């Protein structure tokens, strides 16, 4: 399953990179003569309400989804790793302050918090990536904190202190590399969550704005024409399903490989 997930992720990455060359049409080209045309040889995935080729829009939408997933998850991992490392290493009042802030953030429903923030900002792909990243770091912080609490008492950390290594060197050079296994797994699973969140925001009309293609805003067109254009809902829905499944399978496989307790 992990290999299958890795293949799905690799194929999506290749599609997003090669989008300008493999896309059969311009994803933003309007052709009113072909409005809501069903799947055919010329348009394998049909067309939308403006006559735009759905396959081309989905190919370009793959790049948007992957960009949001990687950047948003990168922001969340960076914030969560730093705060979790400081809380776990220093403990006492630093740990108390950081973890109470984490608890406060966890009290807010994440998706509704994102909606509230986006409502005050101009909807754009960069705002979405930043907001998703700033609201998704709490789990990473708790995970890294737990690893640091365990690792800071190991002999190699005591040896580093004896030879005069400073706190920052011990945190980022000696302890953090030993805690990266769980961070990598969390990052892989976090990409899937970020892609789902972006699709939901675009579906609600406050995510990636048309005419920029996104799987979420293609689904919005499908909702408006569900009785006469089933392909607008089926194909982007399957794309989101397969993408999230691929990242989840890959994350589970990495976790099984890196955690010796799960090996058989």
What secondary structure does DSSP assign to 84-127, as a single string? HHHHHHH-HHHHHHHHHHHHHHHHS-HHHHHHHHHHHS---HHH
pLDDT of 99 above 80: yes
- Is 156 inside a domain boundary? yes
pLDDT of 58 above 70: yes
Round the average pLDDT of the chain to a whole number and report it.
86
Closest CA to 114 of 196, 215, 187: 196
What average pLDDT score do residues 202-227 get? 83
pLDDT: is 264 or 150 the higher one? Answer: 150
Instruction: Give the pLDDT band of residue 56 (cuts 50, 70, 90).
Output: very high
What average pLDDT score do residues 67-77 get? 91
What is the extent of the structural domain holding 166? Answer: 95-259
What average pLDDT score do residues 218-226 get? 84
pLDDT of residue 219: 87
**Which residues, in sequence order, are CB contacts of 256 under 8 Å at separation 6+?**
2, 262, 263
The rounded distance, in Å, linking the Cα atoms of 88 and 147 is 8
- Is 56 inside a domain boundary? no
- Is 112 inside a domain boundary? yes
We report the CATH number of the domain holding residue 136 as 1.10.3720.10
- Is 191 inside a domain boundary? yes
Contact criterion met (CB below 8 Å) for 60 and 116 = no
The gap from C-alpha 64 to its chain's centroid, in whole angstroms, comes to 11
The rounded distance, in Å, linking the Cα atoms of 197 and 187 is 15
* Structural domain count of the chain: 1
The rounded distance, in Å, linking the Cα atoms of 218 and 220 is 5
Instruction: Give the pLDDT band of residue 178 (cuts 50, 70, 90).
Output: confident
- Is 35 inside a domain boundary? no
pLDDT digits (tens, 9 = 90+) for 11-49: 999 999 999 999 888 888 888 888 888 898 888 998 888
- Is 212 inside a domain boundary? yes
- Is 243 inside a domain boundary? yes
- Is 255 inside a domain boundary? yes
Instruction: Give the pLDDT band of residue 155 (cuts 50, 70, 90).
Output: confident
Tell me the pTM: 0.86
């Amino acid at each position: 399953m992990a290999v299958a997930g890795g293949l799905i992720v690799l194929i999506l990455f290749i599609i997003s990179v090669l989008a300008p060359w493999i896309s059969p049409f311009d994803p933003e080209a309007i052709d009113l003569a072909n409005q809501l045309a069903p799947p055919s040889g010329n348009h394998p995935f049909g067309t939308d309400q403006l006559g735009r080729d759905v396959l081309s829009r989905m190919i370009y939408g793959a790049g948007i989804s992957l960009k949001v997933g990687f950047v948003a998850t990168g922001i969340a991992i960076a914030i969560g790793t730093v705060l979790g490392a400081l809380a776990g290493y220093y403990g006492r009042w630093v740990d108390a302050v950081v973890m109470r802030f984490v608890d406060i953030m966890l009290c807010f429903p994440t998706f509704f918090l994102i909606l509230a923030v986006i409502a005050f900002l101009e909807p754009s792909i960069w705002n979405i990536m930043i907001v998703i990243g700033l609201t998704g770091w709490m789990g990473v912080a708790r995970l890294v904190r737990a690893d640091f609490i365990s690792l800071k008492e190991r002999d190699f950390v005591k040896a580093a202190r004896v030879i005069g290594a400073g706190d920052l060197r011990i945190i980022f050079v000696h302890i953090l590399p030993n805690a990266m296994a769980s961070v990598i797994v969390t990052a892989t699973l976090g990409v899937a969550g970020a892609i789902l969140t972006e699709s939901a925001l675009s579906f609600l009309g406050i995510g990636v704005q048309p005419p920029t293609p996104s799987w979420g805003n293609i689904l919005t067109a499908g909702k408006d024409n569900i009785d006469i254009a089933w392909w607008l809902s089926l194909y982007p829905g399957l794309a989101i399903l397969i993408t999230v499944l691929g990242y989840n399978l890959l994350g589970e496989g990495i976790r099984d490989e890196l955690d010796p307790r799960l090996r058989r």
